[in-house]
A and B are shown apart, each in its own frame.
Chain A
Amino acid sequence: MYNFINKTLILLLFAIGSLTSCEEFLDAKPSKDLVVPETISDFRAILNSSDMNLDVMLTLVASGEYYTTKGNWDGYLPWQQRAYLWQEDVFQIGDLVNDYSFPYIMIFNANVVLESLERVEAPEHELLALRGAALFYRAYGYYNLTQLFLPIVNQSSTYPDAFIPLKLLASITEKPQKGNIQMVLSQMENDLQEAISLLPEESTYPIQPNKVSSHALLARIYLSQQQYEEAGFHADKVLELKSTLIDYNEIDPLPNFPFRIFNDEVLFHSRMLANSRITRSLLSIIDNNLYAEFDENDLRRALYFTVNPAGNINFSGSYSGDSDLFSGLATNEMYLISAECKARIGNIQEALDRINELLRHRWKQNTYQNLETESGQEVLKFILNERKKELIFRGTRWADLKRLNTEEEFAVVLNRELEDETYTLLPNSPNYIFPIPPDQLLLEDFQ
């Protein structure tokens, strides 16, 4: 009896002991929703995350497309307040600047995917398409930063010290390069050229990039750098593949926000970082003079704007279908890029065809008179003005101002008033280049 009990006890102890030899016991995942990304669907899910379809907001705050009241301005974050007034030292110690950090989240996610795909087992074409998407997102993130923190190439000699951290690896300990505009630009070109070669023409959802939207982003980037030939080339590439324009006559003007999300013009959906006091406020007021530039027969007058009960004009024409501001890529922008670039290289008739085609879809049926002229300058001026009107509140104005200010005839002096004080942003002012937030600069350890 004693022996028996002794034996069973020892056996029992031994049996429990042998359990742990299975390494798997300690490899169990501690929480269901956690994952070490390994499979292609994990990486797809990372690129689908809502962090990947966001654009900076200061392009709207500082571009003079709207004005606001003192009471509403009081509710802005301090750096938004200073940016609104075009002050120097926009960012101060302690400011949490989304416009700086969010593009880098996009870049980090893209880098994680780019580095990990080698280890993933999946059909070749799926891996390549995912690589293409990650490259697109990285370029998209860098373009967002370029708009705010870097000068255009042609002015880079004036701002030799302007750079942003250029991160091409996911490792958080890797020291970034100091990326000036030339470096960042060539990185974006390389990424997008490769993305074009890898991505299919269609994506499942408009929040995901494809070949067409990669051309569109490249067109936008070249335009911002005054490389009109390349910009025109890529815009035309887009229009070859997709040239749909919505006939605004078919849009019901009654809803507060008449446009559908993912409508036929959308190439890549993205929205501006939201701040209820800026992007959604009824006190973000459109200037009466700008409103007046829209002809009575121009349907955009009714579709883009609402006059709120207080008599203020608000923007309501977002391609997001709601109060979020659409800032992604769409065919109408490509018509404008194509038209401008054609005009700039002297291809007047084709430029006119593009802009007239666009505006015919914007005006009441049979009211639009095609612009006919031989004057290149007149066409360009007309196109640039239509660009300002068509792309209002899309976040593109800031980059346009930066490049157009270098041309005397298109340079713009921005003025705004707050509590009886007038603030001015002169063409080519150094305040067009936002400094990197100072505490971020202190933290960086460059190569």
Chain B
Amino acid sequence: MKHFILLFLLTTSIFRFAYCQDQQQSLYKLSGKIISKETGLELPGAILKTDDGIYVAVTNENGEYSLDLPKGIHSLNISFLGYDVLNQKIELSSDINQNFVLEESGLSMDAYEIVSTGYESLPKERTTGSFVQIDEKLINRRVSTGLIDRLEDVTPGLAFSRGANSEANPLTIRGRSTLFGNVSPLIIIDNFPYDGSLEDINPNDVESITVLKDAAAASIWGARAGNGVIVITTKQGKHMQKNQVTLVSNINLIEKPDLFYNPQMGISDFIDIESMLFNQGFYRSQELSNNRPALSPVVETLIAERDGNITATERDLQIDQFRQRDIRRDLEKHFYRQSVNQQYHLNLRGGSQFHSYSLSAGLDRNLQNVLGNDNNRITLNYQENWTALNGKLKLGTGIYYVKSNAISTTSVPQGSPYDQLVDSDGNGLPIYRNYSKRYLSQVEGSGLLDWDFIPYDEIGQRNARSESQDFRMNTSIAYDIGKGLQAEVLYQYWDNTSGNRNIRDKDLFETRDLINRYSQRLPNGALDLAIPEGSILDVSSTKSYSHSVRGQLRYFREFGDHKISSLAGYEIKSMEALGSQARYYGYDDNLGISFPVDHRVRYPMYHNSGSLQSIPSGQGHWGNIDRFVSYYMNASYTYANRYTITASARKDQSNLFGVDANKKGVPLWSAGAGWVISGEDFFNWSAVPYIKLRATYGYNGNVDKTLSAMTTARYTTAGTTAPIPGLPMAFIINPPNPELRWEKVGITNLGFDFETKGGILSGTFEYFLKNGEDLISNAQIPSSSGVSLFRGNFAATRSEGIDLNLSSLNIDRSIKWRTDFIYSFLEEKVTRYDQQATALNYLNTSSSGPIFPMEGRPLFSIYSYEWAGLDPMTGDPLGFIDGEPSNNYVQISNNATPESLIYNGSQRPVHFGSIRNSVEYSGFELSFNISYRMGYYYRRRSVDYFSLLRGEISHDDYSRRWMQPGDEMFTNVPSLPENNNTLRHLFYQNADVLVERGDHIRLQDIRLSYTLINSKKTNLPFQRIELYGYANNLGILWKATDDPMDPDFRMMRPLRSLAFGVKIDL
């Protein structure tokens, strides 16, 4: 963001420069270069002025300045952002050529940093709100295709949640102040909310990211800013900058998924369970079922032996073979591979006094970890800015184009744990998932298509392609009316076309299966194919576009000690998306023909005539319209560079469905104050030259657009099994709620910034309090209302916390050692929630199912049953009834009330942050990030007897189960029950013995780079080259639990990756 201040200074100085030249005196020319001591490079845009401020010069793109001064002794003041100010006296009696060398100021530039709120850029000094700025260097520290994960561990208060209910929206800023509303932060790119997919943003195009965390964010960004705002600024050309070419190339290798990460019970143990279940008659109903479900190889073998088709010896031989197998070995060997992500990026930029540009092109090629599945991304980006009319008129335009595509040719099969996919000669083997082997051999030779599924033969045989083209164009025009008033109009057009085309070849099992199921046996014995032979083609496309226009007036005036800066404006936005999909049967890709089928007739399924289904039409249509109209104003007043007050207000209106016009909008406001204590005369502490206090208070908003104040119905057409397929039906999804209104979040933010001399220690400390009001939540409503769910503004939440950010320069010599420390504390709780759920609802939080908030507790909490150990005689898990250990699970479950459960704690980290150390020495830089998360709990997985006794393989804790009296001394894993007992299983699964602390510290990543800067000595063909290596997901350093799994990644551990790259500035 340096260039914003630069631009500002440049334009003002040019103006003054011109003014000065009017004075006709005898002047001498002082000229030369301003050079960086550290890099030896010329500094374009450095400012040189006389102490009285009358004579000013700015260096050009070659770092050259020239200043005409009257004869005499002048006290010069030479400054450049990020460098110590140089004061030098010079005596002038003739033209002089003099170079000045500036020294980098102790790295930290916090106080001078310019923050971009997306609407305006301000020196941080004059802000009162909570902003975090991530600069280009930090953004590029990580190597990844996507942008957003690069914010992790470098942004205080920002967390990626992993666990329940976090898959869709993992990113939270200062917790979650909504229950059912939208939970994603608002993303702003280059002044406008971004409508496209985050995957389309090339991180190399990004110059800086600002995260806005408090109420000031909302009154700037409005109702959708309730979850925080991430403002992304892409690279811009700079005025007075030499043409510069930057080339980035890297390759990232990510290891194969670890299929053995989840401790799975021994195959042999599992086969014993299957045999036992078989002997109990468990598989009988499936064996007899008209639906012909597949049974596992062991069960089929046992059936074959029972029916006398094989001998007992053959049976035992086969089963012994199964014991040796493991499908995960075959999957790892034949279906998975190391992912390889390649990234190339080229950027050209530069600028003259009146014009600047930036052009970049990026290419990403990713080979995913499943064989034959790839995706690519091409990004093109062009921006230009002009100034005219003596800097009064500024024009800007940018065009961004992203084309991405993905192809998937392989899908990973699901099989029995000991299915074999490939035989010893390398031939694919069939597995049975949809139909039993018995049934398939029965229909063999009946004229149907081959009904075997051989996953190995289908590797690389799929053809599912998706493609997206994203186009964004924006223009801006700003005109300086004079007297500090500036008018500005900005416009953005965004257009995205995405489509999928999936040809399921006629030879794929999926296609053959569908054709066979719908085959009809005619009375004469012939087969009538309701679905014609041939491939099946699915196509879908979505076209989205949006227009955004903003008109605003800015006012900036500085007189004496007073600075007033304000802006007011008006914004209007409309986004529409329209899409449809279709399916074609009997498709021939060579000829481009397909055959019509009848979607309205229900056919008996070939394998189960009791099931009547129409042919899936694959048709669908969707469309959305989002509209916003907003009015906003924003003002700040600074006195004597010490006292700042800010205020902002905004009103947003949206096309909320069926809502009265007066409730479509929400007024939001914020107010703040800042005090630079170090600017006071009484402040005389030279060790700490910068201290600032600031505070804001105000309101953010949020909305759930699926709700409506009126009775709302959703249309659909009857499905394939309905009596009349295709009949239009409407389901009432929302009963009327005339009281519906926007959610509001009141936010208080108190901040403290400081920096010690030379930037040795600097930091920011913030306290925040967020009160969510009128939050949309479920109300408990009797079934007799006919509505299963009623949502309204019934809930409230309170989140309180601290963000701390410290940077220290521990050693500052030829070797430099820096430490950046981030700590966030977050305490969230629901303060009002009328609906009391059952104890079981609160316990059952491990899935991504519905949320059950409880008053006084965090939204995501872990509850459990009190554990009384294992019964020494039976190995039954014991709970408590009236204080006595008991295995009466019916009573335990019936007696449990939400109050009687143990509350273990939050499911999401309460303390989290990171420590990043970087050491620089003679061009080498080593940095590593250690992240930590504390104060939260999770439910570890253990053997699930309920599933096991239904024939599903379970957890390896089975091998540690109680087997004989005395085992309870060293195990907590219950014995295998004689009967499948749901309540016993539910008790154990929800007992506090399985609740683990999630606290851990991990070594997130290490980055090593070597930078070489061209100098006269080296004389290289480039200005600067950086070579780097980056290793990510290195592992856990410490964790509180002895559970072997990673507390945050319990399905698949984070895969280690190693990247190498180069960045060249020509």
- Encoded as 1 (CB less than 8 Å from any A CB) or 0, chain B from 383 to 394 comes to 000000100110
Most buried by B among A19, A49, A440: A49
Q: Is the CB of B728 within 8 A of A48?
A: yes
Give per-residue flags for A65-102: 1 if the beta carbon is below 8 A from chain B beta carbons, else 0.
Answer: 00000011010000000000000000011100100110
CB distance from A95 to the nearest CB of B (A): 10
A116 to B735 CA separation, bound complex (whole angstroms): 13
- Taking the complex as formed, is A376 at the interface, i.e. its CB lies under 8 A from any CB of chain B? no
Q: Mark the stretch among B239-247, B452-460, B715-723 that contacts chain A.
A: B715-723
In chain B, residues 725-777, which have Cβ atoms closer than 8 Å to a Cβ of chain A? 727-732, 735-736
Could you say which residues of chain A place their CB within 8 Å of the CB of B786?
104-109, 111, 167, 170, 172
Cβ of A228 under 8 Å from chain B: no
Say yes or no for A189: interface residue by CB 8 A criterion. no
Asked if A108 meets B654 with Cβ closer than 8 Å, knowing A36-B712, A48-B729, the reply is: no
B282 touches A108 (CB 8 A): no
| A34 vs B280: C-alpha distance when bound (angstroms) | 51
Residues of B participating in the A interface, judged by any CB pair closer than 8 Å: 280-282, 284-285, 288-290, 389, 392-393, 477, 479, 481, 487, 489, 549, 551, 553, 570, 572, 574, 602, 604, 608-612, 621-627, 629, 653-658, 661, 664, 705, 708, 710-716, 718, 722-724, 727-732, 735-736, 780-788, 790, 838, 840-841, 894, 979-980
Given A9-B479, A109-B786, does the pair A310, B288 have CB atoms closer than 8 Å? yes
Q: Which residues of B contact A12 (CB under 8 A)?
A: 489, 551
Contact present for A5 and B715 (CB under 8 Å):
no
Residue-wise interface mask of A (48-76) relative to B, using a CB-CB cutoff of 8 A (1 in contact, 0 not)? 11110100000000000000000110100
A33 contacts B288, C-beta separation under 8 Å: no
Report yes or no: B629 in contact with A20, Cβ–Cβ below 8 A: yes
Assess A165 versus B570: contact at CB under 8 Å? Given A6-B479, A94-B838: no
- A303-338 interface bits toward B, Cβ cutoff 8 Å, 1 = contact, 0 = none: 000001110000010001111000000000000000
Q: List 19 A-B residue pairs with CB atoms under 8 Å apart, sorted by A's residue number.
A: A6-B479, A12-B551, A19-B572, A26-B654, A26-B661, A37-B711, A37-B730, A37-B732, A45-B728, A50-B729, A71-B284, A108-B786, A172-B735, A172-B736, A256-B290, A257-B604, A257-B609, A262-B723, A323-B290
Given contacts A48-B728, A443-B782, contact A172 B661 (CB under 8 A): no
Is the Cβ of A443 less than 8 Å from the Cβ of B622? Answer: no
Interface contact A13-B570, CB-CB below 8 Å = yes
Find chain B residues with CB under 8 A from A72 CB.
285
Cα distance, A444 to B716, chains bound together (Å): 32
Are A45 and B784 CB-contacts (below 8 A) given A20-B572, A29-B657, A34-B657? Answer: no
Closest beta carbon of chain B to A171's beta carbon, Å: 8
Bound-state Cα–Cα, A29 to B626, Å: 9
Q: Select one of A46, A74, A171 contacting B730, CB under 8 A.
A: A46
Question: What is the bound-complex CA distance between A185 and B661, given in angstroms?
Answer: 44
Partner of A71, one of B281, B729, B840: B281
- Known contacts A36-B710, A50-B722, A167-B786: A26-B627 contact under CB 8 Å: yes
Q: Smallest distance from the beta carbon of B44 to chain A beta carbons, Å?
A: 30
Q: Interface residue tally of chain A, by bracket?
A: 35 or more
Docked CA distance A257–B664 (Å): 55
Contacting pair B654 A33 (CB below 8 A)? no
Complex Cα–Cα for A53 and B727 (A): 14
A-side contacts of B713, CB under 8 Å: 34-37, 42, 45-46
Smallest CB separation, A50 vs chain B (Å): 6
Q: Which of B622, B664, B705, B783 has the most CB of A within 10 A?
A: B783
Let me know if B289 and A282 touch, CB within 8 A: yes
Q: CB of A27 within 8 A of chain B?
A: yes
Complex formed: what's the CA distance from A101 to B789 in Å?
12
CB distance from B999 to the nearest CB of A (A): 33
Given A30-B625, A36-B708, A167-B784, residue A45 in contact with residue B729 (CB < 8 A): yes
Q: How far is the CA of A164 from the CA of B783 in the complex (A)?
A: 11
- Assess whether B610 is in contact with A316, with CB atoms less than 8 Å apart: yes
Residues on A with beta carbons closer than 8 Å to the beta carbon of B288: 282, 308-310
B550 (CB) vs chain A CBs: closest residue: A16
Q: List residues of chain A with CB within 8 A of the CB of B784.
A: 104, 164-165, 167, 176, 440, 444
Q: Of the candidates A25, A31, A108, which one forms a contact with B787 in the assembled complex, judged by CB atoms under 8 Å apart?
A: A108
- How many Å from the CB of A270 to the closest CB on chain B? 10
Whether A42 and B730, one on each chain, are in contact in the complex, defined by CB atoms closer than 8 angstroms, is yes
**CB–CB B980/A25 < 8 A:** no
Would you give the shortest CB distance from A177 to chain B, in whole angstroms?
A: 11
Q: Tell me the minimal C-beta distance from B724 to chain A in angstroms.
A: 6
Chain B CB within 10 Å, residue with most, of A94, A97, A109: A94
Verify A31–B624 contact, CB threshold 8 A: yes
How far, in angstroms, from A86 to B338 measured CA to CA in the complex? 59
Q: Which residues of A contact B608 (CB under 8 A)?
A: 256
8 A Cβ contacts from A420-447 to B = 437, 439-440, 443-444
With both chains docked as a complex, state the minimum distance between the C-beta of A211 and any C-beta of chain B, in angstroms.
21
A19 and B716 alpha carbons, distance in the complex (Å): 34
User: Can you list the 8 inter-chain pairs with the closest CB atoms, starting with the nearest?
Assistant: A108-B786, A32-B623, A45-B730, A165-B784, A101-B783, A323-B610, A13-B551, A443-B782
Cα distance A50–B729 in the bound complex, in angstroms: 8
Across the interface, A109 reaches (CB within 8 A) one of B574, B732, B841, namely B732
Could you tell me the distance between the alpha carbons of A153 and B848 in the complex, rounded to whole angstroms?
47
Which residues of chain A are near B723, meaning CB under 8 Å?
53, 205-207, 261-262, 269, 320
Instruction: Pick the contact of A255: B570, B609, B783 (CB < 8 A).
Output: B609
A170 touches B282 (CB 8 A): no
B309 → A minimal CB distance (Å): 15
Cβ A48 vs Cβ B785 within 8 A:
no
**Shortest Cβ distance from residue B140 to the other chain A in the assembled complex, whole angstroms:** 38
Given A94-B841, A107-B786, 20 extra CB contacts under 8 A: A6-B487, A19-B572, A25-B574, A30-B626, A32-B624, A34-B657, A35-B730, A45-B728, A46-B729, A48-B727, A48-B729, A108-B785, A170-B711, A176-B784, A321-B612, A322-B604, A322-B611, A443-B780, A443-B781, A444-B784
Task: Collect the chain B residues with CB atoms within 8 Å of residue A17's CB.
Answer: 551, 570
Interface check A292, CB cutoff 8 A: no
Measured in the bound complex, the distance between the Cα atoms of B477 and A416 in whole Å is: 84
Q: What chain B residues lie within 8 Å of A365 (beta carbons)?
A: none
Beta-carbon contacts under 8 Å, A195-242 to B: 205-207
Knowing A100-B783, A440-B783, the reply to whether A25 touches B290 (Cβ < 8 A) is no
Are the CB atoms of A49 and B731 closer together than 8 Å? yes
Whole-angstrom CA separation of A29 from B784 in the bound complex? 30
Give Cα A322 to B605, complex, Å: 10
Contact B621 A32 (CB under 8 A): yes
Cβ–Cβ < 8 Å partners of A36 in chain B? 657-658, 708, 710-713
Q: Report the nearest B residue to A437, measured CB to CB.
A: B783
Contact residues in A for B602 (Cβ distance below 8 Å): 261, 321
Chain A proximity of B110: nearest CB distance (Å): 36
Residue of A nearest to B729 (CB): A49
A346 to chain B, nearest CB (A): 41
Looking at the assembled complex, report how far the CB atom of B708 sits from the nearest CB atom of chain A, in whole angstroms: 7
Within 8 Å of chain B (Cβ to Cβ): is A281?
yes
Closest Cβ neighbor of B730 among chain A residues: A45
Q: Is A112 an interface residue (CB 8 A)?
A: yes
- Collect the chain B residues with CB atoms within 8 Å of residue A37's CB: 711, 713, 730, 732
User: B629 contacts which chain A residues (CB < 8 A)?
Assistant: 20, 25-26
A172 touches B624 (CB 8 A): no
The reply on A283 being an interface residue by CB < 8 A is yes
Docked Cα-Cα span, A172 to B788, in Å, equals 11
- Residue numbers in A under 8 Å from B715 (CB-CB): 33-35, 45
Q: Measured between C-beta atoms, what is the minimum distance from A273 to chain B in Å?
A: 14
How far is it, in angstroms, between the C-alpha of A412 and the C-alpha of B788 when the chains are bound?
Answer: 38
| Chain A residue at minimal CB-CB distance from B782 | A443
What's the minimum C-beta distance from B543 to chain A, rounded to whole angstroms? 13
Q: Which residue of B lies closest to A19 (CB)?
A: B572
* Complex interface: chain A residues within 8 A of B780 (CB): 443
Q: A23-B661, A308-B288 are in contact. Are A50 and B718 (CB under 8 A)?
A: yes
B481 touches A6 (CB 8 A): yes
CB distance from B289 to the nearest CB of A (A): 6
* CA gap between A176 and B612 in the complex, in Å: 40
